[in-house]
Structure 1
């Protein structure tokens, strides 16, 4: 499978800019890409047969270096902000020419791919990378063509090219730029593969809402009777872990669209965060580490090639990419029905939120727009106590349109379908981080199972003060005293003090939206009392 390309082939004629590249590799198989990466010194094999690479200077995305070309398509439609930074067409064109010139002196790898499991919404991609390992990532993450192919968008990634900010109009030497008019994603100066994935996600987040498709940063799975569930959550909240349920079939772990009659995966693979991974806790993900999979920035036990998943000395953001069919019970094609249950996952390090609560429609829009979780002490320099993090729609960094647009689309879906929406706290109970304890994974799984099975439909509920969240009185497999967080704290006054503090943070965050949607969304949030 795959071939080297000479100058007269279709692929070459489609991109005459690369006529001078010394060697172009087209549509290579995972095995050949792995061999090429090893031969080029890009990585090494682990004891499980997967390729492990280091992404270099950048082990995560660089949001401040992500730009969108401001032109006739985007000037009055993009939500220009600190995450959607405008760049002039002339600046892009100049930088594009420089990157092409650079790649013409390199060996390059070309891959045709697609996104969107629903064929009527499919987008075709041509991915051109400097590194064989990045092309393997594209093979793992995107859908593979199965017929005639005409690329609509082009992704060019050149980790070895470094911009000159003083000349090229960038902030520093790395960049990721989206050009909606030329339909090009241009990435340089960074080897972090997630830049490729999230740039494509940003493109879909702009295009698909125009087709009345709600784009979502979420995982999705379906039960034996075909019921679909979706899981929203920021990094560290358990989105990938909880959606990989051996009793349910995985639709996808990260990016989906919600159309008139279905939920569908955008991707053809998974990109899992694997810090602390064990075969016992996450068997499906652990078993996906095999030939063809790609590990990023992992450390090893001693001088062996056995991965040490607890060694985060390079980065906490160690990652694994693999095709969706590496999960034995995945859905193909990756499409499900309209969801019956939606879960908002948050790791509340303040120990305030209940482990499970049921939301009204208005609350669902509020917590979706809030996108709350909390960082804990020690995870980043300068964080000495829990720190609230709000990421609109659980994916603010990837939203080209104003967050209110996506929240209102969710509200329209909830008006149309009978859907249960749940807020799940996978964080702390009995006190904040450092005093309380993390809610056990098996308890969280039991609560989600009870919600999915309808066991919580007819149980009594009680209202949590300040937040007005409805808490089930009991849940199979979970200690009753755990369900109401007030009861888990030794001092109820300290709980109320911490709850009021978190409620104030919610209200401060929501104040940025008070002039949108008639200001009604903020009125259903927690009723914090002024200090």
Structure 2
């Protein structure tokens, strides 16, 4: 732990300690949210809060302090934007001066990391009560003994009411998310979107864990009755939360995990699920988890009945529900399991040309992990209003401070060591691109995933895709055979070929940025090459 950095935080926060509420219970925080008029109580018992203009992450406003700890380790660029210590401390002091003027502040002390050998003690200090309720439900709560002896190693300070002045403060907008690895501080201002709190700690863990030879991963995870473990990689909106919440399997976690020499453990203590078009029929576990103590974010609510309207996108398509993992009835507790047997890469292909499921060799797995292709869905980031093709390295580039090859090599080594089966699953479009075709039926995706997890696809005959070189199973229980071959779902085969060529070219273009990659991995991409 950086003692100097933590001393700075404690000293400055000591000036506002009289107004600091520390580790309030869920009920106390709900009462604070309502009395301070930060949110309303819905018919389910959950709190609903809105976040104003910022309804998603602001990646262009995220910075890492360039200092003696980060300088030679972070992969600097558009994702990991550097700022100086002077700029950071200037804003840091301004934020704390602002917080001193507030009547109340809220502190949550807990942990990131379910494995006690590798967990990170954290403190989250917030201006808003509902942000502290969010932190309480998303991170790992301490026992009474752990709280009494808690020594934070990283502190998040969230002050959405403080707006930066870009000309003076050297930011890009009024919003900023800054991480100092040297001083062990995350500084957030200008945005009420609570996801910034969660993802900033994930970025911290992605910096710290690989140095302990632990692979940090943007994935969900669950375990079967026989102890078989599955990982689901994918960006927001591709189905990680939905597909890992399986009544036949126990949930380890829905978004952030680490893979150590002992197995897999959850980094969080809760779930942060997209709830656009949520229904009890399609996603009963998530639907039933939204009750007292949960936080609904930007969900429209009927003013009379207080019923949440999960189909309403008036505020954003990135509607969210945050709840503790205990609200899912079939979970692993603590959130720790063995080594993965099956790894699934999820993508929402807006071109409508990738097969709904395909088997990957180890080399193909490395290629698609480094590529991280999906379609960025509306509302996930500010300014995105319709699906856009994007490549996010390791299915989590916005949260990876280290060079991508660091995480890729670790995953490749573990696939080899534990003989994990890897599949690419498209939860996106079929029968045409976005605007023409439709989303692949969730029931079909579930059937394909179950078949993969139950090893029913291991001996199934496959056919090789002409453009991407993927091995597509010709049969899957519960799925019409024509659905498995994407070209057969299009009315116009020539238009399919055009779109497939277009996407293959994007894969090749994206992969040129990777240096020092072996030929066997480079050659595992699309077999179609541009003319």
Structure 1 300/462 Cα, relative in aligned 2: closer, same or farther at 3 Å? same
Offset at residue 261 of structure 1 (A): 2.5
The match for 1:373 is 374
| Contact persistence 1:21–1:103 (CA under 8 A) | no
After superposition, give the CA deviation of every residue in 1:440-470 in whole Å (9 maximum; x if it has no partner): 1111111111111111111211111121111
Distance 1:302 1:112 in 2: 35
Secondary structure at 1:231 match in 2: strand
Structure 1 376/414 Cα, relative in aligned 2: closer, same or farther at 3 Å? closer
Offset at residue 523 of structure 1 (A): 2.1
Offset at residue 491 of structure 1 (A): 3.2
Show the 5 A alignment for 1:43-58.
43-58=39-54
Distance 2:501 2:169 in 1: 48
Structure 1 111/376 Cα, relative in aligned 2: closer, same or farther at 3 Å? closer
- Match status 1:294 vs 2:291: no
Structure 1 187/384 Cα, relative in aligned 2: closer, same or farther at 3 Å? closer
Secondary structure at 1:19 match in 2: helix
Moved more, 453-462 or 270-279: 453-462
The match for 1:524 is 524
Show the 5 A alignment for 1:385-400.
387-400=388-401
Distance 1:133 1:20 in 2: 19
The match for 1:463 is 464
Show the 5 A alignment for 1:22-421.
22-106=18-102, 107-146=104-143, 147=146, 148-301=149-302, 303-375=304-376, 387-421=388-422
After superposition, give the CA deviation of every residue in 1:36-94 in whole Å (9 maximum; x if it has no partner): 11111101000111111111231111111111110111111110011111111111112
Offset at residue 124 of structure 1 (A): 0.1
Structure 1 381/99 Cα, relative in aligned 2: closer, same or farther at 3 Å? closer
Question: What are structure 1's unaligned runs of at least 5 residues?
Answer: 1-10
Structure 1 12/82 Cα, relative in aligned 2: closer, same or farther at 3 Å? closer
Structure 1 408/325 Cα, relative in aligned 2: closer, same or farther at 3 Å? same
| Contact persistence 1:12–1:19 (CA under 8 A) | no
Secondary structure at 1:121 match in 2: coil
- TM-score when normalising by structure 2: 0.94
| Contact persistence 2:55–2:379 (CA under 8 A) | no
Root-mean-square deviation (CA, aligned residues, Å) is: 2.1
Q: How many residues align?
A: 520
Moved more, 15-24 or 60-69: 15-24
Moved more, 11-20 or 86-95: 11-20
The match for 2:4 is none
Secondary structure at 1:512 match in 2: coil
After superposition, give the CA deviation of every residue in 1:373-413 in whole Å (9 maximum; x if it has no partner): 12579999998996421111111100101112111111111
Distance 1:409 1:172 in 2: 36
- Match status 1:442 vs 2:443: yes
Show the 5 A alignment for 1:486-525.
486-513=487-514, 515-518=515-518, 520-525=520-525
Question: What are structure 2's unaligned runs of at least 5 residues?
Answer: 1-6
Distance 2:466 2:60 in 1: 39
Distance 1:382 1:191 in 2: 16
Offset at residue 172 of structure 1 (A): 1.6
Structure 1 447/418 Cα, relative in aligned 2: closer, same or farther at 3 Å? same
| Contact persistence 1:501–1:528 (CA under 8 A) | no
Offset at residue 365 of structure 1 (A): 0.6
